Amino acid sequence: MTLLRPNGGGAHCLVGRLESVAQQVLVSADALMHMCRYRQCSPWAKEAGGQLFGSISAEQILVTVATGPYPRDERSRYRYRSDPAAAQRSILVQAESGLLYLGEWHTHAEDHPDASGLDGDAMRLLLAKSQLNSNALLMLIVGRKTMVDSLGLWSVAAERVDQWHLEYAAT
Ligand SMILES: [Zn+2]
């Protein structure tokens, strides 16, 4: 297991920005480290994933917890789908601590992850089925490398998909 130490220093969080959007996305170091444990570094590693939770204010969308993967997920080298029952349980458990469901994450076996058409379709399906406080969901994809350009963040709404600009920041 390789921890996220892009500069050889301590833990970093992730900041996402989108032009013309006042809110920024902040992914906590804990959530980031949880997801990066599942990087598909070996040739046989399967995709992993789960859900993102946190809070929303006028200034930022704060992702504090990433959950999953779960024992009954569908996982292969190039596909991940959360066990719907386990994902739903996670959403209820996190809601008890006051955390909102914000979106999904999964890994890709590539260095510069790109959202596939299937990824976009899956997100739009979730969006249509979810009863959310917001009209968009986040989708974070974790590639194989430690550099920030091996991470991808998109917001998916019914009519549009935007890719956010990412940087590491000290915690
Ligand atoms: Zn994918």
Q: Which of 95, 94, 100 is nearest to 68 (CA)?
A: 94
With vertex at residue 133, the alpha carbon angle to CA 37 and CA 73, rounded to the nearest 5 degrees, is 35
Q: How confident is the model at residue 11 (pLDDT cuts 50, 70, 90)?
A: confident
Residues 166 and 2: their CA atoms lie apart, in Å, by 20
Residues 105 and 140: their CA atoms lie apart, in Å, by 5
| Exposure on the CB side of residue 28, measured as CA atoms within 13 A | 12
State what percent of residues in the chain have pLDDT above 90: 77
Q: How confident is the model at residue 171 (pLDDT cuts 50, 70, 90)?
A: confident
Residues 145 and 133: their CA atoms lie apart, in Å, by 33
Give, in order, the Cα–Cα distances in Å from 69 to each of 11, 24, 152. Answer: 22, 26, 18
Give, in order, the Cα–Cα distances in Å from 82 to each of 40, 49, 103, 126, 142. Answer: 17, 7, 12, 12, 16
Q: Does residue 112 surpass a pLDDT of 80?
A: yes
Catalytic residue among 19, 47, 74, 159: 47
Name residue 35's amino acid.
Answer: M
Q: How far is the CA of 118 from the centre of ligand 1 (A)?
A: 7
Mean pLDDT on 1-19: 71
Q: Which residue has the higher pLDDT, 8 or 31?
A: 31
Which residue ranges make up each domain of the chain? 12-166
Q: How confident is the model at residue 10 (pLDDT cuts 50, 70, 90)?
A: low
Q: How far is the CA of 8 from the centre of ligand 1 (A)?
A: 29
Class of domain 12-166: alpha beta
Q: How far is the CA of 78 from the centre of ligand 1 (A)?
A: 7
Q: What is the pTM of this model?
A: 0.92
What backbone phi and psi angles, to 5 degrees, belong to 49? 180, -170
Q: Which of 32, 43, 22, 21 is nearest to 170 (CA)?
A: 32
Q: How far is the CA of 110 from the centre of ligand 1 (A)?
A: 10
Name residue 16's amino acid.
Answer: G
Q: How far is the CA of 33 from the centre of ligand 1 (A)?
A: 19
Predicted local confidence at residue 129, as pLDDT: 82
47 in catalytic set: yes
